[in-house]
A and B are shown apart, each in its own frame.
Chain A
Amino acid sequence: MFERFTAGARAAVTVHAPTEARRRGDRRVGTEHLLLGVLHDVEAAQTLGVDIETARSALAALDEAALAAIGIDARGVERATITESSTRLPFTSGAKATLSNALTVARRTGARRIAVVHLLAGLLDSDRTDPATSVLAEVGVDRVAVRARVVP
Chain B
Amino acid sequence: MEESPLVARLRSHDPAVLLRAVGALHRLAEQVEAAAVARARAEGWTWEQIGDALGVSRQSAHTKHGK
Given known contacts A84-B64, A138-B6, A77 and B32 CB-to-CB distance under 8 angstroms:
yes
Which B residues touch A62, using CB under 8 A?
6-7, 10, 20
Interface residues on B, range: 20 to 34
Number of residue pairs spanning A and B whose beta carbons lie under 8 angstroms apart: 91
Is there contact, CB below 8 Å, between A65 and B7? yes
Shortest Cβ distance from A135 into B: residue: B6
Is there contact, CB below 8 Å, between B16 and A129? yes
Stretch from A10-18, A41-49, A67-75, A114-122 at the B interface: A67-75
Counting CB contacts under 8 A, is A142 at the interface?
no
Instruction: For A25, give its contact among B10, B16, B27, B39 (CB under 8 Å).
Output: B27
Q: Roughly how many angstroms separate A84 CA and B38 CA in the complex, as a whole number?
A: 12
Instruction: For B24, give its contact among A66, A81, A82 (CB under 8 Å).
Output: A66
Counting CB contacts under 8 A, is A24 at the interface?
yes
Is there contact, CB below 8 Å, between B20 and A66? yes
Which A residues touch B10, using CB under 8 A?
62, 65-66, 68-69
A130 to chain B, nearest CB (A): 10
Q: Roughly how many angstroms separate A78 CA and B32 CA in the complex, as a whole number?
A: 6
Residues of A within 8 A of B (CB): 24-26, 61-70, 72, 74, 77-85, 129, 131, 134, 137-138, 140
